Structures are given as C-alpha cells and as structure tokens.
C-alpha cells in the first residue's frame, strides 16, 4: 500500500537540497538516507534520499542525482510516496495511519450516527477528520483526544464526544432563537392587549 509521506517544497541553497513538508509521524523511518520513494507525478521518480538534516526547524533532503538548484527546483510540489505493508501499525499505541481511519463510521458516545470519514486533513496545529454526513453535507472534527474518545478498528468506527455546536450548530441556533421568540411573545401580546383597552 502507498502512503504520501512528504511534499517537496522550494530548493535550498545551490547544491540540490530541498525543503520538505513532512506528512508522516515517522520521518526518521520514512525519510531517512537510503529510502527509495515513489513520486506523484511518477515521471520525477523514484527518488532515493542521499542525505537529510534539519535547518531552522525544517527538514532538508538531498536526493541521489540531484546536484544543483535547478534540478532541485524542478522537483517542487512533488509528493513523496512510501510503500507500506497494509498490516504494519505505527510504533505508538494511539497513532494511526490515514488508511486505517478512512471510511470509519463516526458515531457519538450516545450511539448517534454522524457520518463517514472521507478525508483526513493534516494541519500544523492538529489533524481534522472530514466527515460526510448521510445527507451529503460535510463536517470537520478535530482529531484530538477530548473529542475523538475512541478508535475501534475492529468495529470500523470512531466514537466522538462533540462539544455543543460542533456537529449540529443549526440546532443550537434554532433552539436559542425559539427561546428568545417565546420570551418576547408574552410582551407583544400584553402590549397589543393594552392598546385594545385604550
């Protein structure tokens, strides 16, 4: 099975190094020297990592055969893809590969169906589940322990404890509006009655 592990950014310096946007929790395993990676577009690869180092908080890689800035710049926006055994699991107990989470059913802790995970968005601050609801709409759920309380791979579901408004903000707004309208209604009736009396 293939996993996207990084995206090549701009060239760094004049000796063929590139910055990379890491898309794996295991960069030391997937992006170490000697790793051979497939690419998208396929015509730019496969690429073999020759060296890697961290500079100013960014990972820099140099690939075999890429020796100057022009060759490095030609790789910009290329996705780096690792071949991974589908049965392989991350080293940490509470970590998951994207392919394990895709298509999981999302339900609340009370058993209410929310939808199905169709995409995982990796942001700098946290990961997000993009969940398609039964009506075709989408909702974004932060993949954080306080909200996603359990991943049950055997049952193919993710159990969530959403804060108010996360998955059904319309209901919250409607109930608040209804409460305001019902509170205003007696006042309106009273003023109408007083006008009639006058």
- Per-residue model confidence as pLDDT tens digits over 112-159: 899 999 988 877 777 889 899 999 889 999 998 899 999 888 888 999
Query: Among candidates 76, 31, 25, 27, which has minimal Cα distance to 50?
Result: 31
Residue 42 CA to residue 61 CA, distance in Å, equals 19
The predicted pLDDT at position 85 comes to 67
Which residues partner with 37 through β-bridges?
A: 47
Give every residue of the chain whose pLDDT is below 70, as ranges: 85-94, 168-198
Task: Count other Cβ atoms within 10 Å, centred on residue 11.
Answer: 22
The predicted pLDDT at position 185 comes to 45
The predicted pLDDT at position 93 comes to 60
The predicted pLDDT at position 87 comes to 61
Cis amide bond preceding 46, omega within 30: yes
* Residue 136 DSSP class: S
- The answer to whether residues 5 and 21 touch, using CB atoms and an 8 Å cutoff, is no
- The answer to whether residues 100 and 153 touch, using CB atoms and an 8 Å cutoff, is yes
CB-based burial of residue 135 (10 Å sphere; 0-12 exposed, 13-18 middle, 19+ buried)? exposed
């Amino acid at each position: 099975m293939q996993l996207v592990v990084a995206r090549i950014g701009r060239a760094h310096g004049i000796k063929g190094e590139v910055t990379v946007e890491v898309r794996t929790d295991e960069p030391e395993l997937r992006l170490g020297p000697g790793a051979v990676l497939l690419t998208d577009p396929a015509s730019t690869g496969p690429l073999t990592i020759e060296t890697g180092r961290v500079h100013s908080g960014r990972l820099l890689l140099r690939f075999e055969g890429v020796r100057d800035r022009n060759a490095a710049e030609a790789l910009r926006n290329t996705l780096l893809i690792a071949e991974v055994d589908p049965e392989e699991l991350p080293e940490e107990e509470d970590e998951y590969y994207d392919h394990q989470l895709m298509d999981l059913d999302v339900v609340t802790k009370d058993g209410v169906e929310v939808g199905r995970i169709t995409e995982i968005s990796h942001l700098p601050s946290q990961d997000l589940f993009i969940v398609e609801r039964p009506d075709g709409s989408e909702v974004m759920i932060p993949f954080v322990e306080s909200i996603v309380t359990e991943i049950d791979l055997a049952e193919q579901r993710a159990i969530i404890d959403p804060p108010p408004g996360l998955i059904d903000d319309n209901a919250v707004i409607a109930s608040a509006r209804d409460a305001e309208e019902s509170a205003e209604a007696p006042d309106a009736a009273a003023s109408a009655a007083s006008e009639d009396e006058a």
